[in-house]
Amino acid sequence: RTPLNGMLGFTELLDEELTDKSQKEMLDIIQKSGLRLMDTLNSILDLTMIEANVIVLNKFVFDVNSLINEKIELYKKNAIIKNLYLHFDTDSNYQIFTDFKLLSRIISNILDNAVKYTKKGGVKIKLETETKQNENYLIIKIKDTGIGIEEKHFHFIFNHFTQVSNGLSREYEGSGIGLSICKKYIDLLNGSIEVESRINEGSLFTIKIPGLITTQKNVESKNIIAANEKAKI
Protein backbone atom coordinates (compact mmCIF):
# COMPACT_ATOMS: atom_id res chain seq x y z
CA ARG A 1 0.00 0.00 0.00
CA THR A 2 2.93 2.40 0.55
CA PRO A 3 3.80 3.01 -3.15
CA LEU A 4 0.10 3.29 -4.00
CA ASN A 5 -0.40 5.87 -1.25
CA GLY A 6 2.54 7.80 -2.69
CA MET A 7 1.00 7.88 -6.16
CA LEU A 8 -2.41 8.92 -4.85
CA GLY A 9 -0.80 11.65 -2.76
CA PHE A 10 0.91 13.17 -5.79
CA THR A 11 -2.32 13.06 -7.81
CA GLU A 12 -3.91 15.22 -5.09
CA LEU A 13 -1.04 17.71 -5.40
CA LEU A 14 -1.35 17.74 -9.18
CA ASP A 15 -5.09 18.36 -8.91
CA GLU A 16 -4.33 21.65 -7.16
CA GLU A 17 -1.81 22.67 -9.82
CA LEU A 18 -3.45 21.69 -13.11
CA THR A 19 -5.76 24.12 -14.88
CA ASP A 20 -6.21 22.38 -18.25
CA LYS A 21 -9.65 20.72 -18.36
CA SER A 22 -8.58 17.63 -20.33
CA GLN A 23 -5.60 17.06 -18.03
CA LYS A 24 -7.80 17.33 -14.96
CA GLU A 25 -10.20 14.78 -16.46
CA MET A 26 -7.33 12.36 -17.03
CA LEU A 27 -6.08 12.96 -13.50
CA ASP A 28 -9.57 12.24 -12.17
CA ILE A 29 -9.51 8.85 -13.92
CA ILE A 30 -6.11 8.11 -12.35
CA GLN A 31 -7.41 9.03 -8.89
CA LYS A 32 -10.56 6.92 -9.19
CA SER A 33 -8.62 3.96 -10.57
CA GLY A 34 -6.07 4.29 -7.76
CA LEU A 35 -8.78 4.34 -5.11
CA ARG A 36 -10.41 1.26 -6.65
CA LEU A 37 -7.06 -0.51 -6.62
CA MET A 38 -6.50 0.49 -2.98
CA ASP A 39 -9.94 -0.83 -2.04
CA THR A 40 -9.24 -4.13 -3.80
CA LEU A 41 -5.85 -4.42 -2.13
CA ASN A 42 -7.31 -3.76 1.31
CA SER A 43 -9.98 -6.39 0.72
CA ILE A 44 -7.41 -8.99 -0.34
CA LEU A 45 -5.29 -8.23 2.73
CA ASP A 46 -8.37 -8.56 4.96
CA LEU A 47 -9.23 -11.89 3.35
CA THR A 48 -5.66 -13.12 3.79
CA MET A 49 -5.68 -12.23 7.50
CA ILE A 50 -8.99 -14.02 8.02
CA GLU A 51 -7.82 -17.21 6.31
CA ALA A 52 -4.52 -17.11 8.23
CA ASN A 53 -6.47 -16.91 11.51
CA VAL A 54 -4.44 -13.92 12.71
CA ILE A 55 -7.35 -11.59 13.50
CA VAL A 56 -7.68 -10.89 17.22
CA LEU A 57 -11.08 -9.58 18.28
CA ASN A 58 -11.02 -6.30 20.18
CA LYS A 59 -14.44 -6.00 21.82
CA PHE A 60 -15.78 -3.00 23.69
CA VAL A 61 -19.10 -1.18 24.18
CA PHE A 62 -19.98 1.48 21.60
CA ASP A 63 -22.97 3.33 20.17
CA VAL A 64 -24.36 1.69 17.02
CA ASN A 65 -26.47 4.69 15.98
CA SER A 66 -23.38 6.90 15.76
CA LEU A 67 -21.57 4.29 13.68
CA ILE A 68 -24.41 4.04 11.17
CA ASN A 69 -24.77 7.83 10.92
CA GLU A 70 -21.04 8.03 10.12
CA LYS A 71 -21.44 5.45 7.36
CA ILE A 72 -24.40 7.29 5.87
CA GLU A 73 -22.40 10.52 5.76
CA LEU A 74 -19.59 8.62 4.02
CA TYR A 75 -21.86 7.35 1.23
CA LYS A 76 -24.15 10.36 1.01
CA LYS A 77 -22.24 12.07 -1.79
CA ASN A 78 -22.41 8.98 -4.03
CA ALA A 79 -26.13 8.69 -3.30
CA ILE A 80 -26.74 12.33 -4.17
CA ILE A 81 -24.88 11.94 -7.47
CA LYS A 82 -27.23 9.05 -8.36
CA ASN A 83 -30.26 10.90 -6.90
CA LEU A 84 -30.81 8.17 -4.30
CA TYR A 85 -32.01 8.50 -0.72
CA LEU A 86 -30.23 7.10 2.34
CA HIS A 87 -32.69 6.66 5.16
CA PHE A 88 -31.95 5.73 8.79
CA ASP A 89 -34.91 6.28 11.11
CA THR A 90 -34.89 5.12 14.73
CA ASP A 91 -36.44 6.12 18.02
CA SER A 92 -33.96 4.10 20.09
CA ASN A 93 -30.27 4.31 20.89
CA TYR A 94 -28.44 0.98 20.68
CA GLN A 95 -25.18 -0.01 22.37
CA ILE A 96 -23.37 -3.26 21.72
CA PHE A 97 -20.35 -5.13 23.06
CA THR A 98 -18.47 -6.40 20.01
CA ASP A 99 -15.54 -5.60 17.71
CA PHE A 100 -16.03 -2.05 16.38
CA LYS A 101 -13.70 -2.43 13.39
CA LEU A 102 -15.31 -5.62 12.13
CA LEU A 103 -18.88 -4.34 12.50
CA SER A 104 -17.85 -1.13 10.78
CA ARG A 105 -16.44 -3.04 7.81
CA ILE A 106 -19.54 -5.24 7.63
CA ILE A 107 -21.88 -2.23 7.43
CA SER A 108 -19.59 -0.46 4.94
CA ASN A 109 -19.48 -3.41 2.54
CA ILE A 110 -23.24 -3.99 2.59
CA LEU A 111 -24.00 -0.29 2.24
CA ASP A 112 -21.46 0.10 -0.56
CA ASN A 113 -23.15 -2.69 -2.52
CA ALA A 114 -26.61 -1.27 -1.84
CA VAL A 115 -25.66 2.12 -3.30
CA LYS A 116 -23.63 0.58 -6.14
CA TYR A 117 -26.40 -1.72 -7.39
CA THR A 118 -29.27 0.78 -7.02
CA LYS A 119 -30.16 3.06 -9.93
CA LYS A 120 -33.33 4.65 -8.55
CA GLY A 121 -35.05 4.84 -5.19
CA GLY A 122 -32.58 4.35 -2.40
CA VAL A 123 -31.44 2.53 0.71
CA LYS A 124 -33.03 2.16 4.14
CA ILE A 125 -31.33 1.02 7.33
CA LYS A 126 -33.36 -0.26 10.26
CA LEU A 127 -32.29 -1.55 13.68
CA GLU A 128 -34.17 -4.20 15.64
CA THR A 129 -33.46 -6.49 18.58
CA GLU A 130 -33.95 -10.16 19.39
CA THR A 131 -33.41 -12.27 22.48
CA LYS A 132 -32.63 -15.95 21.94
CA GLN A 133 -31.32 -18.46 24.48
CA ASN A 134 -30.53 -15.68 26.97
CA GLU A 135 -28.47 -13.79 24.36
CA ASN A 136 -29.44 -10.30 23.17
CA TYR A 137 -28.94 -9.73 19.45
CA LEU A 138 -28.74 -6.52 17.46
CA ILE A 139 -30.45 -6.87 14.07
CA ILE A 140 -29.31 -4.57 11.26
CA LYS A 141 -31.53 -4.53 8.18
CA ILE A 142 -30.22 -2.85 5.02
CA LYS A 143 -32.81 -2.69 2.24
CA ASP A 144 -32.29 -1.27 -1.24
CA THR A 145 -34.41 -0.82 -4.36
CA GLY A 146 -31.67 -2.05 -6.66
CA ILE A 147 -31.28 -4.66 -9.38
CA GLY A 148 -31.96 -7.60 -7.07
CA ILE A 149 -30.61 -11.17 -7.00
CA GLU A 150 -32.19 -14.40 -8.19
CA GLU A 151 -32.82 -16.87 -5.35
CA LYS A 152 -30.65 -19.50 -7.02
CA HIS A 153 -27.68 -17.15 -6.64
CA PHE A 154 -28.10 -16.41 -2.91
CA HIS A 155 -25.37 -18.87 -1.85
CA PHE A 156 -23.14 -17.75 -4.73
CA ILE A 157 -22.79 -14.10 -3.66
CA PHE A 158 -20.77 -15.00 -0.55
CA ASN A 159 -18.01 -16.72 -2.57
CA HIS A 160 -14.61 -15.10 -3.21
CA PHE A 161 -14.08 -12.93 -6.33
CA THR A 162 -17.57 -13.43 -7.70
CA GLN A 163 -20.42 -11.26 -8.90
CA VAL A 164 -23.78 -12.40 -10.21
CA SER A 165 -23.09 -10.13 -13.21
CA ASN A 166 -19.98 -12.12 -14.17
CA GLY A 167 -20.10 -13.14 -17.79
CA LEU A 168 -22.68 -10.49 -18.64
CA SER A 169 -22.02 -6.80 -19.16
CA ARG A 170 -19.87 -6.32 -16.01
CA GLU A 171 -21.63 -2.97 -15.69
CA TYR A 172 -20.85 -2.68 -11.98
CA GLU A 173 -17.37 -2.16 -10.56
CA GLY A 174 -15.96 -4.38 -7.85
CA SER A 175 -13.76 -7.37 -7.14
CA GLY A 176 -16.48 -9.57 -5.69
CA ILE A 177 -14.75 -9.89 -2.31
CA GLY A 178 -16.89 -7.61 -0.15
CA LEU A 179 -19.73 -9.99 0.74
CA SER A 180 -17.31 -12.86 1.26
CA ILE A 181 -15.41 -10.79 3.82
CA CYS A 182 -18.69 -9.72 5.44
CA LYS A 183 -19.73 -13.35 5.92
CA LYS A 184 -16.38 -14.27 7.46
CA TYR A 185 -16.41 -11.23 9.79
CA ILE A 186 -19.96 -12.06 10.88
CA ASP A 187 -18.92 -15.64 11.58
CA LEU A 188 -16.03 -14.36 13.72
CA LEU A 189 -18.56 -12.33 15.74
CA ASN A 190 -20.81 -15.41 16.13
CA GLY A 191 -23.53 -13.69 14.13
CA SER A 192 -25.51 -14.50 11.00
CA ILE A 193 -26.52 -12.90 7.70
CA GLU A 194 -29.55 -13.60 5.52
CA VAL A 195 -30.62 -12.21 2.16
CA GLU A 196 -34.05 -11.71 0.59
CA SER A 197 -34.24 -10.40 -2.93
CA ARG A 198 -36.18 -10.22 -6.17
CA ILE A 199 -34.93 -9.22 -9.59
CA ASN A 200 -35.56 -5.52 -10.31
CA GLU A 201 -37.21 -5.06 -6.90
CA GLY A 202 -34.21 -4.82 -4.61
CA SER A 203 -32.55 -6.73 -1.80
CA LEU A 204 -32.78 -6.97 1.98
CA PHE A 205 -29.73 -8.05 4.01
CA THR A 206 -30.45 -8.96 7.63
CA ILE A 207 -27.44 -9.09 9.96
CA LYS A 208 -27.68 -10.47 13.51
CA ILE A 209 -24.85 -9.76 15.95
CA PRO A 210 -24.80 -10.90 19.60
CA GLY A 211 -23.70 -8.57 22.39
CA LEU A 212 -26.51 -6.01 22.55
CA ILE A 213 -26.12 -4.14 25.86
CA THR A 214 -28.76 -1.42 26.10
CA THR A 215 -31.68 0.00 24.14
CA GLN A 216 -32.59 3.53 25.19
CA LYS A 217 -36.03 4.58 23.99
CA ASN A 218 -37.33 8.03 23.09
CA VAL A 219 -34.08 9.43 21.74
CA GLU A 220 -34.13 11.97 18.93
CA SER A 221 -35.08 10.30 15.66
CA LYS A 222 -32.50 10.35 12.87
CA ASN A 223 -33.90 10.70 9.40
CA ILE A 224 -31.19 11.35 6.81
CA ILE A 225 -32.31 11.77 3.23
CA ALA A 226 -29.53 12.18 0.70
CA ALA A 227 -31.52 12.82 -2.47
CA ASN A 228 -32.00 16.43 -3.57
CA GLU A 229 -29.28 17.75 -1.24
CA LYS A 230 -26.78 18.61 -3.94
CA ALA A 231 -26.67 22.24 -2.84
CA LYS A 232 -25.23 21.17 0.51
CA ILE A 233 -22.23 19.35 -0.95
Give me Rg for the CA atoms of the chain.
19
Query: Rounded distance, CA 78 to CA 76, Å?
Result: 6
Three-state secondary structure call for residue 169: coil
Name the pLDDT band for 125 (thresholds 50, 70, 90): very high
Q: Are 64 and 127 a contacting pair, CB within 8 Å?
A: yes
Q: Exposed (0-12), middle (13-18) or buried (19+): which is 228, by Cβ within 10 Å?
A: exposed
Q: For the full predicted model, state whether its pTM sits above 0.95.
A: no
For the stretch 142-188, pLDDT in tens is: 999 999 887 776 666 766 545 544 443 345 454 457 788 888 899 99
Q: 89 vs 103, which has greater pLDDT? A: 103
